[in-house]
Amino acid sequence: MPSALRAIPSLALPYWLLFCLALGWGAAQAAPAGSHDSAVIPELSTCAGMKDLAFVGHMDDDLLFMNPDILNVIREGACVRVVYLTASERNEGETYMRNREQAVQAAYAYMAGQANEWIEQSVQVGAYRVAGFTLSGRPGIQLWHLRLQDPWLGPGWGSLTPLSRTESDPKVPVETLEAFPQRYLRSDLIETLATIIRTYGPTTIRHLDDTNVVPYTQLCWRCAGHGHPDHIASARLVREAMMLAPGNYAQVGYIDYPIQEQAINLSPTEIADKTEAFRRYAWVDYRYCKGPEDCQQPAGPAAAWVGRAYYVARQDTSAVLVASASSSQPPSVLTTGELNDTINLWQPDSAQWQSLGGRSSEAPDLAVSAHGETMFSRDATGRIWLSTQVKPGQWAAWQTLSGARLNRMPAVAPEGHAAIGMGTDNRYYWTAARAGQSAWSPWSALPTLPDARYNAAASIDNEGRLIALALDAHGQLHLSRQASQGATLWAPWQLLSSPALNAAPSAIHDGQGKLSIFIQDPDTRHLLRLEPAHATTKPTQDLGLTLQGRPALALNSQGRVVVALRNGDAELWVLQGGGRIKLADVVASDPSLRLLGGHLYLTARASGPAQQYLIWRHELGKWQALPSTTEPPKAGGYAFQRPILASDTAPTSSEKPDS
């Protein structure tokens, strides 16, 4: 589809074409046939395995609330497209809108280490035109603008904006700020954003906080817990667009204004980097500064925002159980704090939480090998981090697993010492604890499964071979296994007989080495059990309970499979010995099971805003409730960057350990 091109500053078209061809950004990377997105779409191979797609309300929301994550992935070679929904003109017209567009260009050129030279393109997305800018020296960096008008519709805070009004009322349109305005209804905006997602093929989608429950007309500036109506509206529209355009991408939500109420959690280096990127913006935005001379930005609220970065939590974070120093003690509980975004360990002997570091928006997982317990965590750039418990309460320094970035947390085998995860290239990768060492192997690729979807399930057979189970885009279930324990050679994917599925499977081998696969029936949502034997699969067993999320699997002391699950009503059930029992009327997270000291233990997050974990122990044929945890601390978060000691007190001020 034809597009209008011009250089900023002047750049001859033939030079640009030669430049793009030299980088391999020619016709082979054009939008796929039938696409409404006429902009150049980068191939993942040119993007260091990362294609970020960020959606924000205003020009500077990304710099203040999504950094340092965007800055870090740009430095590591990622392709990044940022979509600004509003014109951000504050009722000052097109002149200020273009001033702010130039300001974000200056910031991104700085972050990419390139000259501030951009190609402007009018991109057709469905029935709409979108203003797009591509960084000349690095075409993988793109800034897009929907230019929706952005005045207050009343006196200011406590009033609607055009975007929030349209998000609230599907019949009310919002117009763009252009010479020839375009009109969007709510449904048009969602479809436009979904089209951008489909055609770009992101590995990560970043958005603002959609969970703020304060009504738009009651929001106020600097009030505790309050955001901006355009921030909330943009995030809600993006979340709905993601439902129309599902994929294997990761998604990360960012808290905006309320981070000023939380503890500083960035290191001095991260703060300095984030500050410098924002300054490049402020030097151009004439509401902030009139150039770099004597510019005091960031100041005021911006000074608080550059020292912090916090992720959106949905009050459903799961946890895993860690062995305590004494077998007579209940296990510790390991989780990500929904308020401090760091890994936290509940110690039952002291009834206190220990912050272990590692800024993350996802719950950790735990693997057990001959060298002890190793926790897995994933950061917002797709890197997987590990730390092994040296002795109770003392953990080794965080280490990264090389070889791949993952679009979600890997699945740790219930039997321990191995895991499988989906890479940003939609291939599955495996890692295992190295024999005789405390280290883990780098990520190694499994055979390619065309159109793979969701995470794989991991299990280990009685010969020590790792088994992978995964779905394709048609919901068909496939199995692959290692040729021998630790081998890099895997069998080709084998198609198993099962219903067409729309949720990832789970799997475990029992004490006799028999594999059981647990899946969700797509029609009834019941939990089903499959038992593959050679090249066939036995008929499914309907376990009679609906399934929400993923079940927890473990073996009891006799080597029999025990299943814990949350049903459709959020009740907590346990299936064991041919029977079932309800342990709780409502829980907020997927459960976790573990056999420790001859006893089965189970944990799940309690319902409600307080992040507390319920704990049970199976003893003498009965499940007994143990004391629950308190909430993890609100402070104590910092990046994956240092050894974790039992005596550590995580920093909560600006005196953070440097990275």
Residue 482: closest CA among 436, 413, 536: 413
* Percent residues over pLDDT 70 in the chain: 90
Q: Which of 21-30, 418-427, 615-624 has the lowest mean pLDDT?
A: 21-30
With a cut of 60, say whether residue 274 has pLDDT above it.
yes
Can you name the CATH fold of 5-305? Rossmann fold (3.40.50)
Per-position DSSP letters for 618-654, written without gaps between them = EETTEEEEEPPP-PPPS-----S-S-B-TT-----SS
Residue 613: closest CA among 638, 592, 639: 592
Q: What is the pLDDT of residue 657?
A: 28
Q: What is the pLDDT of residues 520-575, one digit of tens each?
A: 999 999 999 998 764 455 668 899 999 999 999 999 999 999 999 999 999 999 99
Q: What is the pLDDT of residue 230?
A: 98
d(CA 335, CA 113): 37
User: Is 397:405 a contact under the CB 8 Å cutoff?
Assistant: no
Q: Mean pLDDT across the stretch 293-321?
A: 95
With a cut of 70, say whether residue 604 has pLDDT above it.
yes
Domain boundaries, the chain: 5-305
Q: Which of 100-109, 545-554, 643-652 has the lowest mean pLDDT?
A: 643-652
Tokens of 624: 């007994």
With a cut of 50, say whether residue 507 has pLDDT above it.
yes
Among all chains, which residue has been given the structure tokens 């055609």?
199
Contacts of 398 by beta carbon, 8 Å cutoff, 6+ apart: 357, 358, 385, 386, 387, 640, 641, 642, 644
Q: What is the pLDDT of residue 438?
A: 72
With a cut of 90, say whether residue 40 has pLDDT above it.
no
Q: What is the pLDDT of residue 485?
A: 86
Contacts of 119 by beta carbon, 8 Å cutoff, 6+ apart: 5, 6, 7, 8, 11, 16, 133, 134, 136
User: Is 613:605 a contact under the CB 8 Å cutoff?
Assistant: yes
With a cut of 90, say whether residue 8 has pLDDT above it.
no
User: Is 67:226 a contact under the CB 8 Å cutoff?
Assistant: no
Q: What is the pLDDT of residue 169?
A: 97
Of the two residues 28 and 470, the one the predictor is more confident about is: 470
Of the two residues 334 and 435, the one the predictor is more confident about is: 334
Of the two residues 589 and 641, the one the predictor is more confident about is: 589
User: What's the pLDDT band for 477 if we cut at 50, 70, 90?
Assistant: very high
Q: What is the pLDDT of residue 240?
A: 98
Please state the φ and ψ torsions of residue 572, each to the nearest 5 degrees. Answer: -100, 120
d(CA 40, CA 31): 6
With a cut of 60, say whether residue 654 has pLDDT above it.
no
Of the two residues 563 and 638, the one the predictor is more confident about is: 563
Per-position DSSP letters for 562-616, written without gaps between them = EEEEE-TT--EEEEETTEEEEEES--SS--EEEEETTEEEEEEEPSSSS--EEEE
User: Is 60:281 a contact under the CB 8 Å cutoff?
Assistant: yes
Q: Where are the alpha helices (DSSP H) in 180-316?
A: 186-200, 229-244, 268-282, 301-305
d(CA 316, CA 647): 29
Task: Taking the CA atoms of 201, 243, 205 and 380 in sequence, report the sign of the dihedral they define.
Answer: negative
Q: 10 Å Cβ neighbour count for 451?
A: 11
Q: What is the pLDDT of residue 37?
A: 57
Contacts of 612 by beta carbon, 8 Å cutoff, 6+ apart: 605, 606, 628, 629, 630, 631
Q: What is the pLDDT of residue 546?
A: 96
* Count, residues in the chain: 659
Q: 10 Å Cβ neighbour count for 522?
A: 12
* Cα dist from 258 to 84, 261, 309, 593, whole Å: 21, 6, 10, 35
Q: Calculate Rg over the CA atoms of the chain.
A: 26
Residue 59 DSSP SS3: coil
Cα end-to-end span (Å), the chain: 46
User: Is 92:243 a contact under the CB 8 Å cutoff?
Assistant: no
Q: Mean pLDDT across the stretch 588-605?
A: 96
Q: 10 Å Cβ neighbour count for 420?
A: 27
Please state the φ and ψ torsions of residue 73, each to the nearest 5 degrees. Answer: -70, -35
Q: Mean pLDDT across the stretch 149-177?
A: 97
Q: What is the pLDDT of residue 512?
A: 92
Tokens of 361: 């928006």
Q: Mean pLDDT across the stretch 378-388?
A: 94
d(CA 60, CA 65): 8
* Percent residues over pLDDT 90 in the chain: 80
Q: What is the pLDDT of residue 376?
A: 95
Q: Where are the alpha helices (DSSP H) in 258-366?
A: 268-282, 301-305
Q: Judging by beta carbons within 10 Å of its beta carbon (0-12, 13-18, 19+), is residue 21 exposed, middle or buried?
A: exposed
Q: What is the pLDDT of residue 26?
A: 33
d(CA 506, CA 523): 18
Greatest alpha-carbon pair distance for the chain in Å reads 80
Q: Name the CA dihedral angle for 104, 109, 110, 116, rounded to a multiple of 10 degrees.
A: -100
User: What's the pLDDT band for 483 if we cut at 50, 70, 90?
Assistant: very high
Side chain identity, residue 51: K
